[in-house]
């Protein structure tokens, strides 16, 4: 950190990213009234290349890399991310110093008519660029036409309203944070579409060696949410998963235990492996690794090769 009383937050320029960074800024100011917090807005490569599927241009790390560069070259002290966008393996010099309390982890089906998966018209065009979502939708409704959809949340909604898609799939958390969740949004159950690893959680990344910064930022950490997300990340990391993989997971604390569910699917949704496990809340990474082992024994590696 460049100054004891100043923290600069590297953030993407999308409406949702700015909202999330402003939330972190306000929480930091509440805890440290004398702290000066400012946003350092960075246009990432992932934001510039909105017409190409992420799986073809390097994945969600394109949203992270330039924020990390801003921290390395001294322009920023921390970066605020959606945890589902952070690669399973960070560069050694970086660390996730806090995870805020998780929002709704579900995906939602959004349409003008308020469709659910059962009453979507046959052959409906559904927008998503997520292979995880695509494979699970096709497993339930192989008649659907899945088309790539990128851009920030308001842009995606506008494309649906303009008639480009019968429905689109978005993360519930983003809609709620922007005040865009309404009666037309149909929440998808975990049994229908398993969420992405870390979905609904906001993470704060910084240079691992900065202990002074860690002391301030770690006060924002929600222990239960962090353990749930770390279990999901360990599961995906065990299988070498990425945004180019049809992998979903959800961990939920139950007393001293941690329940973890996961899926691995083929891109066309014709093959899906579902497994779950339970372990100690004190060791979330081992819970994630155990689910990874169960998935591997069931043939997950072969499905992932199809992605």
Active site residues per annotation:
85
Instruction: Give the whole-angstrom CA distance, residue 26 versus residue 33.
Output: 10
Distance CA 152, CA 75 (A): 25
Residues 6+ apart with CB under 8 A from 60: 46, 54, 84, 85, 86, 87, 242, 243
Residue 10 three-state SS: strand
Q: Is 179 left (phi over 0), alpha (psi -120 to 50) or beta?
A: left
Q: Quick one: which of 295, 39, 82 has its CA closest to 204?
A: 82
For residue 252 the two structure tokens come to: 């939920």
């Amino acid at each position: 950190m460049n100054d004891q009383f100043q923290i600069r937050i590297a953030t993407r320029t999308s409406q949702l990213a700015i909202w999330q960074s402003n939330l972190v800024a306000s929480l930091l100011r509440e805890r440290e009234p004398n702290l000066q917090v400012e946003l350092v807005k960075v246009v990432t490569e992932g934001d510039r290349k909105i017409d190409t599927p992420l799986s073809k241009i390097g994945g969600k790390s394109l949203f992270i890399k330039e924020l990390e560069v801003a921290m390395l070259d001294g322009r920023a002290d921390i970066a605020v991310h959606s945890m589902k966008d952070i690669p399973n393996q960070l560069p050694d010099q970086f660390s996730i110093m806090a995870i805020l309390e998780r929002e709704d982890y579900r995906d939602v089906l959004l349409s003008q008519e308020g469709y659910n998966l059962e009453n979507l018209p046959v052959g409906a065009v559904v927008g998503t660029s997520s292979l995880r979502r695509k494979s699970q939708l096709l497993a339930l409704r192989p008649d659907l036409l899945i088309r790539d959809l990128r851009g920030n949340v308001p842009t995606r909604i506008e494309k649906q309203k303009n008639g480009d898609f019968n429905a689109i799939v978005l993360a519930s958390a983003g809609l709620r944070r922007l005040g865009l969740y309404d009666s037309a949004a149909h929440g998808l159950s975990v049994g229908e579409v398993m969420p992405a690893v870390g979905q609904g959680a906001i993470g704060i990344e910084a240079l691992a060696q900065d202990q002074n910064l860690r002391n301030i930022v770690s006060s924002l950490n929600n222990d239960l949410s962090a353990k749930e997300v770390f279990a999901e990340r360990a599961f995906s990391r065990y299988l070498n998963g990425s945004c180019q993989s049809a992998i979903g997971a959800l961990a939920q604390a139950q007393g001293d235990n941690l329940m973890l569910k996961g899926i691995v699917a083929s891109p066309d949704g014709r093959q899906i492996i579902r497994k779950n496990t339970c372990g100690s809340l004190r060791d979330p990474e081992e819970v994630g690794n155990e689910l990874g082992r169960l998935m591997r024994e069931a043939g997950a590696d072969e499905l992932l090769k199809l992605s």
